[in-house]
A = this chain, B = another copy of it.
Amino acid sequence: MFDKLQTAFLNAQRVARLATADANGVPHVVPVCFALDSGQVYITIDEKPKTQHSRPLKRIRNILENPVVSLVADRYDEDWERLGWVMLRGTAEILEDGEEHDRAQEFLKSRYPQYAQMTLDELPVIAIRVSRVTNWGNLESGC
């Protein structure tokens, strides 16, 4: 699904932005940490999705209502010759446990040392089943 340049660009970005929409088509967008593994995109939910005291996060409520999502990773630079982005569209699935869930959490922990301080194992993961990838601008590194 991703070509080499798109893959390298995505892996070089530390943050992406996840857009969801509710059942009425109202969009919502938040920055997310993410990992790309075997053509899947994973995002951990680093807080309990549902507790006694709070509703699930809006991104989760939207995915449950409408699983189609978009994610963009981009590079901003004051030299606009260096601007570039990769956007993907796909269907989000919420993984509560299981082998893919555990592997995704491990991979996210290896990519983000910050997660080492957190107990992710019991937290769900958003897996994006990518259906389409587009890009724009300059995806070359170090130029």
Contact = CB atoms under 8 A, between A and B. Distances in A.
A109 interface: no
Query: Chain A contact residues: over half helix, strand or loop, or mixed?
Result: strand
27 contacts: A14-B76, A17-B29, A17-B72, A17-B74, A18-B29, A19-B19, A19-B27, A19-B70, A21-B27, A23-B25, A24-B25, A25-B66, A25-B68, A26-B68, A26-B89, A27-B27, A27-B29, A27-B68, A27-B70, A29-B70, A29-B72, A29-B87, A30-B72, A31-B76, A31-B85, A78-B114, A80-B114
Given A14-B76, A78-B14, A19 B29 contact: yes
A48 to B, nearest CB: 16
Interface string A65-87: 01011111010101010010101
User: Number of copies of this chain in the oligomer?
Assistant: 2
Nearest to A31: B74
A15 interface: yes
A55 interface: no
Contacts of A26: 21, 68, 70, 89
A103 interface: no
A20 interface: yes
Interface string A26-45: 11111100000000000000
A18 B23 CA distance: 19
Contacts of A69: 27
